[in-house]
Amino acid sequence: MDAREDDEQLVAAELARYDRELRRYRRLRSRIEADFARRLDAAGFRYFQVTARVKSRESFERKVRRAPDREVRDILGVRVIAHFEGDLPAMEQVVREALIVDDDSWVDKSELLPIDAFGYRSVQFVGQIAGSSGRRGGGDAEVDAPLVEVQLRTALSDTWSELEHDFRYKSARQLPREVDRLFALSAALLEQADENLDRIRRQVEEERTAGPAARGDGGGERGYIGRFIQYDGDSRSLDQVVTAALDVPFGVVTGAGRELRSVVRAAGWLRYEALVDGFAEYSELGRRLAIACASTSNDLLLADAEPQRPARAFRGIGTYWTALAAALLGGEPIRESRVPDGRLAEYRVVAAYLYANPDASALGVRSRYGAIAAPVGTLDGAGFRPIDLG
């Protein structure tokens, strides 16, 4: 039997599975749509929409035929639409409570865009419906562990992506460059509009309560950090400087946004203005800390957690090391980072040394630190030892 026949057998088996499970997925569609809406309403959200769909048989077959040996994990999909971008992080946490999430599937589509590009923005992940039993695999156990693909985005992003998909992918021929330019321009304007809506709501609420909102940036922290690394000229310049200094390629690093947000929060920069001021104060230290500590053969952020990933710079890399430097000097624990506490303790020693010795060569410190640092890939706290740079 040749490879083509093998593929046809796999396709036939998957289509049989689809037909067998279709009725069940249709029942689950209504159930999970109502469950998500109930949870979000109970959490106090007012402006949102939840829609669920079951992938059509034609769409399912096309996807299977593209990769017959790869499991289709989005037969059941749920889209959560927020009117305010600032609501998305908290809404994601509410939705996660209904699922057992595969964290490796989590992706922020905006992080896949080039540093100077605008376009599709959506957080996506796959999860198993909480409370379901059984294992996915062969036989009847498959139906006991239904998977759901969740997408979270704003109403403006949803409108843009739906129209862009219809116009671009359902067109009989390639669209002119002028249309591409207009799509990019529209994406940039809608991104700014999302930011403006968050700002409008924040100011209205501040006026209503006759004082600053208790939540600092009104829940829109993800928005103000993204706006800073996208538009601030000094931030973009530092990205280029760090990339060149480490001599690594620039590209997309999945999960970088989460790590960036974790250290910005740890630094105490909870508003746009605080981020601007903190960056101005610590950016030089951040540059030197990146040169002294960042791996150039493994992932720049998660060398221990994901050592198999190659080193690659990304939009916001300079801001990351700057916020990390400020957080380390502040002495507060960085609670949400995936970097091991032992590695953060090493970085804290290096940051303190660089701060106390502003004329010290960062490359010289890198050589000394590399000789005493725990090996890349260390996760166990026992694998780290206190270090001293003298």
Task: Tell me which of 86-100, 139-153, 285-299, 334-348 is least confident.
Answer: 139-153
Do 359 and 232 fall into the same domain?
Answer: yes
Confidence of residue 292 (pLDDT cuts 50, 70, 90): very high
In sign, the C-alpha dihedral spanning 212, 214, 220, 226 is: positive
Position 136 scores a pLDDT of 47
The pLDDT of residue 92: 87
Residues 276-300, mean pLDDT to the nearest whole number: 92
Last residue of a domain, one of 155, 187, 209: 155
Q: Is residue 24 part of a domain?
A: yes
pLDDT for 185 equals 76
Domain endpoint, select from 155, 170, 195: 155
Residue 187, φ and ψ in degrees, nearest 5: -60, -40
Question: How large is the C-alpha radius of gyration of the chain?
Answer: 23
Residue 278 zone, left/alpha/beta (φ > 0; ψ -120 to 50; rest): alpha
pLDDT digits (tens, 9 = 90+) for 169-192: 655 566 677 777 777 777 777 777
Please report whether residue 344 resides in a domain: yes
Q: Per-residue pLDDT for 25 more than 60?
A: yes
Closest CA to 363 of 298, 289, 299: 289
Owning domain of residue 78: 3-155
Average pLDDT over residues 260-277: 91
Q: Residue by residue, what is the 3-state secondary structure of the chain? A: CCHHHHHHHHHHHHHHHHHHHHHHHHHHHHHHHHHHHHHHHHCCCCCEEEEEEECCHHHHHHHHHHCCCCCCCCCEEEEEEECCHHHHHHHHHHHHCCEEEEEEEEEEHHHHCCCCCCCCCCEEEEEEECCCCCCCCCHHHHHHCCEEEEEEEEHHHHHHHHHHHHHHHCCCCCCCHHHHHHHHHHHHHHHHHHHHHHHHHHHHHHHHHCCCCCCCCCCCHHHHHHHHHHHCHHHHHHHHHHHHHHCCCECCCCCHHHHHHHHHHHCCCCCHHHHHHHHHHHHHHHHHHHHHHCCCCCCCCCCCCCCCCCCCECCCHHHHHHHHHHHHHHCCCCCCCCCCHHHHHHHHHHHHHHHHCCCCCHHHHHHHHHHHCCCCCCCCHHHCCCCCCC
Whichever domain contains 109, its CATH number is 3.30.460.10
* Residue 197 covered by a domain: no
The single-letter code of the amino acid at 323 is A
| 369 lies in the same domain as 229 | yes
Q: What are 28-47's pLDDT values in tens digits?
A: 888 999 999 999 888 888 88
Determine the pLDDT at residue 183.
72
**Total of domains in the chain:** 2
Q: Are residues 144 and 224 in the same domain?
A: no
CB of 117 closer than 8 Å to CB of 184: yes
229 and 377 share a domain?
Answer: yes
Q: Are strands 147-154 and 76-82 parallel, antiparallel or unpaired?
A: parallel
Q: By the 8 A CB rule, do 266 and 335 touch?
A: yes
- Report pLDDT for 111: 56
388 within a domain of the structure (yes/no) = no
245 & 370 share domain: yes
- Same domain for 133 and 250, yes or no, is no
pLDDT score recorded for residue 145: 67
**Residue in the structure block whose two tokens are 């305010």:** 84
- Considering the domain architecture, whether residues 104 and 226 belong to the same structural domain is answered as no
Q: What is the pLDDT of residues 195-227, one digit of tens each?
A: 788 778 777 766 654 433 333 343 444 568 887
Q: pLDDT at position 140, please?
A: 41
Identify whether the C-beta of residue 262 lies closer than 8 Å to the C-beta of residue 332: no
Has residue 179 been placed in a domain? no
Q: Is the pLDDT of residue 291 over 90?
A: yes
Looking at the fold, whether 146 and 249 belong to one and the same domain comes out as no
Task: Take residue 350 and report the two structure tokens written for it.
Answer: 């290096």
Residue 278 lies in a domain: yes
Q: What is the pLDDT of residue 117?
A: 42
Q: State the pLDDT at residue 182.
A: 79
Question: Residue 269 has what pLDDT?
Answer: 93
Higher-scoring residue by pLDDT: 342, 14: 342
pLDDT higher than 70, residue 129 = yes
- Assess whether 141 and 22 both reside in one domain: yes
Q: Is residue 130 part of a domain?
A: yes
Give the strands of the sheet with 76-82, arranged side by side.
48-54, 76-82, 147-154, 123-129, 99-108
Mean pLDDT of 247-256: 81
367 pLDDT tier (thresholds 50, 70, 90): very high
Partnered with residue 250 across adjacent β-strands are 313
Q: Is residue 314 very low, low, confident or very high in pLDDT (cuts 50, 70, 90)? A: confident
Residue 119 sits in the same domain as residue 241? no
Which has the higher per-residue pLDDT, 23 or 198? 23
**pLDDT exceeds 70 at position 239:** yes
**229 and 373 share one domain:** yes
pTM attached to this predicted model: 0.49
Residue ending a domain, choose from 155, 187, 205: 155
15 with 94, same domain: the answer is: yes
Report the mean per-residue pLDDT for the chain. Answer: 81
Closest to 313 in 3D by CA, of 294, 292, 329, 285: 294
Within a domain: residue 374?
yes
